[in-house]
Chain A
Amino acid sequence: MSPHINTTAGKATGLKRAVMSAVLSALFMGIGQIFNRQFIKGILYAVLEIFVIAVWSKPIAHGLWGLYTLGEQPQVRGARGKITEQGDHSIFLMIEGVIILIVVFILLLIYIRNIIDAYKTGKMIDQGGQPKSFVESLQNAWEKGYAYILLTPAFIFTLFLTILPLAFGILIAFTNYASPVLPPLKLVDWVGFQTFVNLFKLEIWSNTFYGVLWWTVIWSILATVTTFFVGLFYAVIINHKRIRFKKLWRTVFILPWAIPQFISILIFRNIFNGQFGPINQYLKLFGLEAIPWFSDPTWAKIALVTVNIWFGFPFWMALMSGVLTSIDKDMYEAAEVDGANAWQKFRKISFPLVMFATAPLLIMGFAGNFNNFNMIYLFTQGGPTNIAYSYAGSTDILISWIYKLTLEQNQYNMASVVSILIFVIVSIFSVYNFRRTKAFKEEDMIQ
């Protein structure tokens, strides 16, 4: 052992102790630290490794086995459905496997940290320094690692409540986890890209997917553009210099945004009610025929977009009012001197400035409407039913289709595939939007 280390150390002259302690720590956590006379730290590291080997090696092996096989023993039931053999639960095994992977990853980080630490302390001694005492090390960690300490709570939350579920959600896409293959009765298997292929190749899925995707895109564009221009319209007319009570108008018009959305959607659900809703009552009063708001796909879509204008325009109005009032009045006066009329002033001054200030939000608004689950699900629940679709209604957008696939139909793998596709679409918009923002450019300059 020692001749080997001597040769390595010989190459890196003057770092004999550094290399030696790094190798020792790589062999067993903490030995290098003890070698450097940092006893408490070394013992803590060593205890951790002993603990992991003694207590955790079996769960880790079991977790990796579970993630790989997703279980081997199906549940066995005897007469009258009595469970005689519990069997493996593929989904629990999968989640345990993902958690174990994360734990292994963290342990690896600690292990690497331990080697680097031993190397650095050794180097310091090589260069004639004193190893830090345990208290000094703690103080050092508090100062230098302050950012990590700040981040730890958020990191743990994100790891277990966002990353872990997402990793699991993505993995589901590569299994056959869908009704009727449901644990604990049946075992789930890895199927690779089969579900992706099914979505595009099998007509029952591809028809639904393209149909729903098409409406999702139309819906996002309509919902964003209508609210944007209606908001702009009201911002401009309220901003007219001879209109009085500006504040009153703005406060009244901001109400739809201020009222909790799920409540107003549910209210509108009743207002549009085909039989008893006031709209159809008024139509009858005028001798017109009632409109089948929720049973006809086209009318349902019209109702959705209309109601969405009611919700959405106040936000744009408030935002644009801010922009409009901040525009320098001199610009308009200069334009008037040049003989510009109201429309020209709007086209050449107000509109470009408003667009400049709100364009990033327009893209975010599009992405938001793309996933506007509440609006669709609470208002129409995706209905009316569409017999040409698998598990989706005529007004379902992708996100509400996923919700139905998951919670109502147990088609988990397909839901997961569609989620991944939504992610791809939304990320294209977000990345485009983000790249051209100031924040990103500044971020580039820092490092």
Chain B
Amino acid sequence: MTNRTHKKKSLSVGMKLRENLVIACIYIILILTGIFVIYPVAWIVLGSMNPGNTLFSSAFIPDNLTLNHYKALIEETDYLLWYKNTLFIATMNMIISTFLIVTSAYAFSRFRFPGRRKGLMAMLILQMFPGFMGMIAIYILLLQLNLLDNHWGLILVYAGGSIPFGAWLVKGYFDGLPRSLEEAAKIDGASNTTIFFKVMMPLSIPILTFIAVNNFIGPWMDFIFARLVLRSNENKTLAIGLFEMVTGRGNTEFTQFAAGAVLVAIPITILFLFLQKYIIEGLKAGANKG
């Protein structure tokens, strides 16, 4: 008996040592990964404050830092204008898309009407086509409507494209909400519109946040449609402007690009980190609901 406990104790000392080793390894891995994760970020931030203006002249840790590139970016390029454009498009897209998505999701979730199942099926199928398959048609359509090189044209394209995925997602969420509250409100004589704003909305804040943020961030990232619709320099969004800075003239404006990238990344990253809980939940719901 005593022999056995003794054996167990010595074993656990060995295990303890092994575990400490494992922990040490984990910390080393975590720190190394941390370096890999932060390196590109640090590189671009330092690059943006590097006195030179090209990629090859910038040492990782420069001798002295300067904010000149930020100044030049704002004074010499249309950067501020692009920023304003992107902000405008993103905000409008967020408002319009959320409205369209929520109204259709509410209809699909809470009403039974002829054509409902067909509509749901159609949206599911529409989601699967590559987004820019309709590019040529959209181009010609906007040309005919005189909306080419116009922010509203781009907003319409984004809003239209966001419906199928978003409506399915929000519908799934609405389906999960208990109906008893609505029924009580109905008995009290509340109209459908009142029920929606007074009962459903407060319960759906997480998913509405996700949809709104998603549609706000989308235009900051999109490259394809922005390039298709917007032509003139003063109408560009940030994604196109920055892309052309790095690809256009052989990296000679690298530091300016770096400054521009930092100014875009900061607000979006902060927004994301604040709302990450909603975003992860939303994506999870998206996969489970179709």
Contacts and interface: CB of A to CB of B under 8 A. Distances in A.
Interface string B94-114: 000001110110111011110
B273 A258 contact: yes
Contact of A146 (B33, B100, B111, B140): B111
Given A240-B23, A255-B37, A419-B129, A168 B160 contact: no
A266 interface: yes
B1 interface: no
Contact of B55 (A168, A169, A276, A360): A276
Contacts of B116: 147, 447
A215 interface: no
Nearest to B23: A242
A125 interface: no
A249 interface: yes
A285 to B, nearest CB: 11
A237 B25 CA distance: 10
Contacts of A260: 217, 220-221, 264-265, 268-269
Nearest to A424: B128
B65 interface: no
A146 B19 CA distance: 64
Interface residues of A, number: 94
A238 B156 CA distance: 43
A261 interface: yes
B33 A234 contact: yes
Given A146-B192, A374-B221, A427-B128, A406 B135 contact: yes
Most interface-central of A150, A427, A443 (chain B CB within 10 A): A150
Given A252-B37, A263-B261, A447-B117, A419 B130 contact: yes
Contact of A91 (B44, B103, B108, B140): B140
Given A150-B103, A267-B44, A270-B251, 19 more contacts: A91-B140, A95-B137, A158-B164, A165-B138, A169-B134, A234-B33, A243-B26, A255-B41, A258-B272, A262-B239, A267-B40, A277-B55, A310-B37, A361-B287, A364-B287, A402-B130, A402-B133, A439-B175, A447-B112
B224 interface: yes
B79 to A, nearest CB: 14
The majority secondary structure among interface residues of chain A is helix
A254 B276 contact: yes
Interface of A: 91-92, 95, 145-148, 150-151, 153-155, 157-158, 160-166, 168-170, 172, 234, 237-238, 240, 242-243, 249, 251-264, 266-271, 273, 275-278, 310, 315, 318-319, 322, 360-361, 364, 371, 373-374, 377-378, 381, 399, 402-403, 406-407, 412, 416, 419, 422-423, 426-427, 430, 433-434, 437-440, 442-443, 446-447
A263 B280 contact: no
A157 B129 contact: no
Contact of B120 (A91, A162, A237, A443): A443
Interface of B: 19, 22-23, 26-27, 29-30, 33-34, 36-38, 40-41, 43-44, 54-56, 60, 99-101, 103-104, 106-108, 110-113, 116-117, 119-120, 123-138, 140-141, 144, 156-157, 159-161, 163-164, 167, 172, 175, 192, 217, 220-221, 223-224, 228, 239, 242-243, 246-247, 251, 254, 257, 261, 264-265, 268-269, 272-273, 276, 280, 283-284, 286-290
Contacts of B247: 381
B55 A270 contact: yes
17 contacts: A146-B192, A151-B104, A155-B104, A161-B161, A162-B126, A164-B137, A168-B137, A169-B133, A260-B269, A270-B55, A271-B40, A371-B131, A373-B224, A374-B223, A419-B130, A430-B128, A437-B288
B133 A166 contact: yes
Contacts of A249: 30, 34
A259 B107 contact: no
Given A165-B141, A263-B242, A437-B288, A426 B128 contact: yes
Given A92-B140, A240-B23, A252-B34, A438 B264 contact: no
B261 A267 contact: yes
The majority secondary structure among interface residues of chain B is helix
Given A255-B38, A261-B221, A427 B125 contact: yes
A150 B107 contact: yes
Nearest to B127: A430
Contacts of B44: 267
Contacts of B117: 443, 447
Contacts of A266: 242-243, 246, 257, 261
A2 to B, nearest CB: 33
Contacts of A162: 126, 134, 160-161, 163-164
Contacts of B246: 266, 269-270
9 closest Cβ pairs, A-B complex? A165-B134, A161-B160, A147-B111, A276-B56, A165-B137, A168-B137, A154-B104, A150-B107, A258-B272
B290 A439 contact: yes
A361 B284 contact: yes
Given A419-B133, A423-B129, A442 B175 contact: yes
Contacts of A150: 103-104, 106-107, 111
Nearest to A98: B137
Contact of A268 (B19, B40, B111, B289): B40
Most interface-central of B40, B106, B111, B254 (chain A CB within 10 A): B40
B40 A95 contact: no
B156 A151 contact: no
A163 B287 contact: no
B40 A165 contact: no
A434 B110 CA distance: 21
Contact of A259 (B23, B130, B132, B268): B268
Contacts of A430: 124, 127-128, 290
Given A92-B140, A166-B134, A238-B30, A262 B243 contact: yes
Contact of A278 (B60, B132, B140, B286): B60
Given A165-B141, A267-B40, A157 B159 contact: yes
B172 A439 contact: yes
A419 B289 CA distance: 25
Nearest to A357: B284
Contacts of B131: 371
A261 B218 CA distance: 11
Contacts of A419: 129-130, 133
A267 B265 CA distance: 12
Contacts of B41: 255, 259
